[in-house]
Amino acid sequence: MFEEKKPKDAKCVQLYGSRIVLSNFQKKDLDATYISWLNDPEVVRYSNQRFSQHSLESCERYRRTFKGAGNHFLSVQRTDNQCKIGTVTAYINPYHRTAGLGILIGDKSVWGCGYGIDAWMTLVDWVEGVHSVRKITAGALSLNKPMIKILEKSGFHLEAVRRKQEVYRGVPEDIALYAKFV
Ligand SMILES: CC(C)(COP(=O)(O)OP(=O)(O)OC[C@H]1O[C@@H](n2cnc3c(N)ncnc32)[C@H](O)[C@@H]1OP(=O)(O)O)[C@@H](O)C(=O)NCCC(=O)NCCS
């Protein structure tokens, strides 16, 4: 599904899906468009990011947490027009050999067009292949139907439900915890 380009720097990631490329989120990617995704109430409606106001400084602080930590913060870019449409994250625990993944397709104009599943599968394939990871996890509010669909289509199984864990628009809602054994 993806082809990993020969990196000069071992930490340089470039992963090709069908219609997207994932690459290290760099300082130059931290622009007004990226910040606007995080401050868009619709984009972050199912995430705890909705409780924070994001700025250049806060985003740069977040980006820096990935430096040298063995975790990955990658930009999602369309291959047809080079537009950046979102980000993915992979937190690797080398001791337990687990990985926790996340995704944000910030460009709402492409929601429902298949970029989310493409980016997700590309990330999952890579994490499975190169990190000696034995278990991959991800979670979502049960209300987040596209994300639940992505998890189920990419071979994750429902591991647990944290019942009425988070309040969404005044109503306590479930968090679904998914996992995939490699
Ligand atoms: C969740 C998210 C990644 C989905 O990305 P996307 O590019 O819109 O998803 P896709 O187009 O690849 O669609 C994935 C599946 O969800 C389905 N889907 C899309 N929108 C849907 C909706 N509103 N209701 C139900 N299913 C939906 C699609 O039909 C597709 O299933 P299919 O392949 O069987 O047709 C994206 O909406 C997003 O990043 N949202 C904001 C951040 C977020 O919620 N991240 C996840 C937090 S855990």
pLDDT by residue (tens digit) across 152-165?
999 999 999 999 99
- The domain spans of the chain are 14-134
Query: pLDDT of 16-71, one tens digit each?
Result: 999 999 999 999 999 999 999 999 999 999 999 999 999 999 999 999 999 988 99
If one looks up domain 14-134 in CATH, what number appears?
A: 3.40.630.30
Element (H, E) at 99: strand 98-105
CA of 52 to the centre of ligand 1 (A): 23
Whether 178 has a pLDDT exceeding 50, the answer reads: yes
Ligand 1 touching residue 100 (CB < 6 A)? no
Mean pLDDT of 118-146: 96
84 contacts 116 by C-beta, under 8 angstroms: no
Ligand 1 close to Cβ of residue 114 (< 6 A): yes
Give percent above pLDDT 70 in the chain. 95
